[in-house]
Structure 1
Amino acid sequence: MKNLRIVVFTLFVSWIFVACKKETLNPTTTTKTTTNSTTTNPNEAANSWVYDQMKEWYLWSDLLPEKSKTNLTLVTGKDGDDDIKKYYFYSILNDYPNIDRFSWIRENVTDLTNSLSGISTAFGFSRTAVYLDNTQTDIVFFISNVTLDSPAAKAGIKRGDIILTVNGTQINKDNYTTIIANNETATFGLGELKNGAFVLSGKTLKATKAVVQTDPVHFWKVIEKGDKKIGYLVYTSFLAAYDTKLKTVFGELKSKGVNELVLDLRMNGGGSIASADLLSSLIVKNLNTNNVIHQDEWNANVAKKYPSVVNPTKFSNQPNNLGMLNRLVVLTSNGTASASELIINSLRPYMDVIIIGQNTYGKNVGSITIKDDNNPARWTWGFQPIVLKTNNSKGESNYGTKSGFTPNYVVSDNIYPFKDWGDESETLLKRALEVITGVAIPVEASANAKRSFRQLETQILQLHESENPEENRKDMFVKLPK
């Protein structure tokens, strides 16, 4: 049996093999796959290989059952299936989906790495799905965000749009999860607020799915309020391919004399830890390259074989660091996860981090991508086992529960339709500006557009979800040492 290698490519070459990740080099492993030449079950060899890799890399490898006590005849795995008990990969996880709710597997490793690098075939928008009324039958999509240069953007769909129909069919409780996924081309029936109700406006927009590359440096501006020059950045994913653009934007913010920063991570489910480390280095007050951003825990076998993994990660020298920020204001949703939460945890020992929005997702662990590197490959599987846990410079990592980080100011996205990014009356940005300046911003007079979150919390089915389910994963990407 040929030796196996774990290859974790960086985003610069559009292969990211990780999920709470820094970027990855290509360590060669000598783990051998156990097979039985008399085995007739088609799943046994693949499952044996999966087990061996998990035994080497899994954070909780010491809690894995003995291989002989596992059912190697199960189907290896399948992503997105509710009945995970019939799949081998999930059967060996540490109390899935309670303690380990993050490890996952895909049948095609190319699809897996594309999704981690922000590449997907999609229309390119995220939406919040809400029941239209108390009958809880018909549903409206409020567009939360549109990916730059995506088919949706080119068709004219924008944040704040209201979608009521797809190809003439009303969105409802039975079809809202499939009505977009099942159509390669769609005509979206737009709605409007009229007499206190959302109704069809008569306008339609048509788009066809295409390969979309997410540009996470989505929007930025500087807002001046008295002596406050407030930088506002909407950052939607930690993708290393856009690190240069991120540094350039911070250069612009610095040149404009920004002395406050609002980092909008509502749409950000994570990404490369290396990119998170870069962002931390661009933000931190009194940048010192001797100071620790975070230190990671791996299983004992990995720590022994690659001792550098337990070395602390330190801030990097970034000329565009904003310098003397006394605080960072972060806007969050329940989908703010992984590398986004790492930013909050890493910067707290060095400056005030004020959270405005909702509780974050709660993920303080990360994974690598594992695939079969035999030539030719025996299996197309790619899987993401959790391999590390992150701690800040104080050893703190107390946000890894389903309640995540609790906001300093609990504010929900409860104004529909959504305002444009950067609109000073937009719900969360408005509250951030009030916290920074100490001056209240008057509420708009349009009572019809306002609904309290208390009224809607039982009516929201999806909050800021991508129309492509593969884009809704919560990830961080790691680079393994040589």
Structure 2
Amino acid sequence: MKIKYWSLIILVTVSFSCKKLTEIFPKDEDNTSNTTNPNADVNSWIFDEMKNYYLWENQMVAKTASDNKLAPADYFESILVKPGDLDRFSWIEEDVEALTASLQGINKVVGIRFTPFYANTEKTKVALSVAYSLKGSPAEKAGIKRGDFIVKVNGQDLTSENYSAAFSPDNLKFTLGDYNGSEIVANSKTVDVVKAEVQTNPIQHYSIIEKGNKKIGYLVYLQFLTKYDADIRNVFKEFKSKGVNELVLDLRYNGGGYISSSDIISSLIVKNLKPGTLMSKQEWNTQMTSAYKSKYGNDVFDTDWLNESNNLGSLNRVFVLTSKGTASASELVINNLKPYMDVILIGDNTYGKNVGSITLSDDKKRWKWGMQPIVLRTVNSLGQSDYGTKDGFTPTFKVTDNAIPFMPFGDVNETLLSVAIQQITGVAASSSNANARIKGIKKVDVLNSAYPLENPKLEIRDMYIEKLPGQK
């Protein structure tokens, strides 16, 4: 069972066992058991862990005032502080192993992200405009690509009520559609796909666009995954070797990932990189702050700039393409860079998540539950962290990404990229070299501008660390 708040957008750490935590902060053994209340022991564990690490632990109800007869997921929710308001993000999962795999970008999926919109003027039908197919996914192997329209799933017309649940079966048949000048209608093409376990490759696209004396590096990055740190360094190595002097970082579809990977990308981009100087800080609750500083020193929560040899060096600014799905580690990169260079945001407001959590599981293996309580807040080198509201970062240029069909990544006429290119060159993008599909462009009424995944339960926007503060 999974408890979600709002879009289940989280900032998380990889799963640390309680043993590792208690090596730093020893706790009394809890040898209690209860045969009359089957939830007593797990709920007691939930409360004790929350009381230790929760960012707002000083506002929690007293343990004796909590209802420990509730099911664990309901109990967890009952002890949160102002859920949906102050705490929009803490959550709990029945299977911590499945959770960990998901955080590492491994899921059983078809492998698409899309924008749902009304397909006809009566608003009785919905079509899905594919934003991308994951590399190596069943969708990509079946030939589904960015800009395609899906109008039926397993023979059923899509509506505003059913499109979110339409992808539930493992075996799916998609009916594709065409734009006929006024609406999206089904064509004769169908595609059969079967869900499979897929490892996300976050480097969805990169290219260099040359405009006069401008060499514009363009990168579509889906998730901050350490498995691909070497690959992202190689992308920037190529950018640097080919003289890239402007950068467009497309984070529309990026809900976060490993903090260490976001630190790498920040250090590859920042102007006048100074390794070893302060990049950002974490703020924990009073108890954890005192304990960590006592054991490791006052700078235990500091993160410094990295010595990245492929730092682009001379950038004065960076353009970031954003959406309501741009969250957590993506927002951290934006906040890291703001004190050092112009960060120009194009698109929609970001999600607004400047707090983070750790994965807590039972080291005694008595149950599989894993928790993601909010335990920290992040600030940049100037102590700034003013985007942690439902409005997130406000874009410099507000652009609605509702022109269909979607242009290919790197197409100079693509809705958001074209705005960045115009700001860089001072010249509007020309349709003369655009993909032929440009002729069919239409503005549509979008139902969800955060580019939902095929399975809403996998919509986890995350930022997680490999090591606790002070651990090398």
TM-score normalised to structure 2 length: 0.91
For residue 415 of structure 1, the aligned residue among 380, 398, 403 is 403
**2:412 alignment partner, SS class:** coil
Give a deviation string over 1:7-39, Cα, whole Å, max 9, x none: xxxxxxxxxxx9344897943353346564455
Q: Which amino acid aligns with 2:117?
A: V
2:441 matches 1:449 = yes
Following the alignment from structure 1 to structure 2, what is the Cα–Cα distance between the partners of residues 283 and 446? 32
Question: Match for residue 7 of structure 2?
Answer: none
**2:406 alignment partner, SS class:** coil
Q: What aligned pairs does 1:423-438 form with structure 2 within 5 A after superposition?
A: 423-438=411-426
2:142 matches 1:155 = yes
Question: Match for residue 6 of structure 1?
Answer: none
**1:289 alignment partner, SS class:** coil
Deviation at 1:383, TM superposition (A): 1.0
Give a deviation string over 1:60-107, Cα, whole Å, max 9, x none: 111111111111111101xxxxxxxxx011111110011111111100
Distance 1:460 1:47, change over 3 A: same
Distance 1:464 1:33, change over 3 A: farther
**1:460 alignment partner, SS class:** coil
Deviation at 1:442, TM superposition (A): 3.7
Following the alignment from structure 1 to structure 2, what is the Cα–Cα distance between the partners of residues 163 and 232? 27
CA contact (8 A) 1:293 1:315 kept: yes
CA contact (8 A) 1:359 1:404 kept: yes
2:120 matches 1:124 = no
Following the alignment from structure 1 to structure 2, what is the Cα–Cα distance between the partners of residues 306 and 367? 16
Question: Match for residue 224 of structure 1?
Answer: 210
Distance 1:361 1:68, change over 3 A: same
Unaligned 5+ segments in structure 1 are: 1-17, 78-86
2:54 matches 1:58 = yes
Distance 1:318 1:437, change over 3 A: same
Following the alignment from structure 2 to structure 1, what is the Cα–Cα distance between the partners of residues 395 and 14? 27
Following the alignment from structure 1 to structure 2, what is the Cα–Cα distance between the partners of residues 422 and 438? 18
Give a deviation string over 1:99-135, Cα, whole Å, max 9, x none: 1111111001111111111110000010111122343
Deviation at 1:471, TM superposition (A): 3.1
Q: Which amino acid aligns with 1:415?
A: A
Distance 1:22 1:110, change over 3 A: closer
Deviation at 1:475, TM superposition (A): 1.1
CA contact (8 A) 2:319 2:343 kept: yes
Question: Match for residue 289 of structure 2?
Answer: 303
Q: What aligned pairs does 1:330-369 form with structure 2 within 5 A after superposition?
A: 330-369=320-359
**1:246 alignment partner, SS class:** helix
Following the alignment from structure 2 to structure 1, what is the Cα–Cα distance between the partners of residues 34 and 12? 39
**1:431 alignment partner, SS class:** helix
CA contact (8 A) 2:135 2:204 kept: yes
Q: Which amino acid aligns with 1:104?
A: W
Q: What aligned pairs does 1:70-469 form with structure 2 within 5 A after superposition?
A: 70-77=66-73, 87-181=74-168, 183-307=169-293, 308=296, 310-374=300-364, 377-442=365-430, 448-451=440-443, 456=445, 459-461=446-448, 463-469=450-456
Distance 1:477 1:446, change over 3 A: closer
CA contact (8 A) 1:362 1:403 kept: yes
Following the alignment from structure 1 to structure 2, what is the Cα–Cα distance between the partners of residues 401 and 33? 39
Following the alignment from structure 2 to structure 1, what is the Cα–Cα distance between the partners of residues 448 and 311? 39
Deviation at 1:469, TM superposition (A): 2.2
Distance 1:273 1:38, change over 3 A: closer
Distance 1:22 1:280, change over 3 A: farther
Deviation at 1:447, TM superposition (A): 6.7
The RMSD of aligned alpha carbons is 1.9
Deviation at 1:169, TM superposition (A): 1.3
Deviation at 1:310, TM superposition (A): 4.2
Following the alignment from structure 2 to structure 1, what is the Cα–Cα distance between the partners of residues 406 and 318? 24
CA contact (8 A) 1:33 1:49 kept: no
**1:72 alignment partner, SS class:** coil
Following the alignment from structure 2 to structure 1, what is the Cα–Cα distance between the partners of residues 360 and 208? 42
Question: Match for residue 12 of structure 1?
Answer: none
CA contact (8 A) 1:361 1:402 kept: yes
CA contact (8 A) 2:224 2:329 kept: yes
Following the alignment from structure 2 to structure 1, what is the Cα–Cα distance between the partners of residues 362 and 86? 27
Deviation at 1:217, TM superposition (A): 1.4
Following the alignment from structure 1 to structure 2, what is the Cα–Cα distance between the partners of residues 32 and 160? 57
Following the alignment from structure 1 to structure 2, what is the Cα–Cα distance between the partners of residues 167 and 431? 38
Deviation at 1:477, TM superposition (A): 0.3
**2:335 alignment partner, SS class:** helix
Following the alignment from structure 1 to structure 2, what is the Cα–Cα distance between the partners of residues 461 and 360? 14
Distance 1:37 1:358, change over 3 A: closer
Q: Number of aligned residue pairs: give it.
A: 448
Following the alignment from structure 2 to structure 1, what is the Cα–Cα distance between the partners of residues 310 and 373? 35
**2:238 alignment partner, SS class:** helix
Deviation at 1:301, TM superposition (A): 1.7
CA contact (8 A) 1:35 1:48 kept: no
Deviation at 1:306, TM superposition (A): 2.0
CA contact (8 A) 1:20 1:388 kept: no
Q: Which amino acid aligns with 2:356?
A: G
Following the alignment from structure 2 to structure 1, what is the Cα–Cα distance between the partners of residues 191 and 354? 40
CA contact (8 A) 1:190 1:201 kept: yes
Deviates more, 1:133-142 or 1:53-62: 133-142
Give a deviation string over 1:391-412, Cα, whole Å, max 9, x none: 0011100000000000000011
Q: Which amino acid aligns with 1:212?
A: V
Following the alignment from structure 2 to structure 1, what is the Cα–Cα distance between the partners of residues 371 and 104? 15
Deviation at 1:304, TM superposition (A): 2.3
TM-score normalised to structure 1 length: 0.89
Deviation at 1:446, TM superposition (A): 5.8
Deviates more, 1:34-43 or 1:96-105: 34-43
Distance 1:350 1:290, change over 3 A: same
Deviation at 1:185, TM superposition (A): 1.1
Question: Match for residue 83 of structure 1?
Answer: none
* Identity among equivalent pairs (%): 48
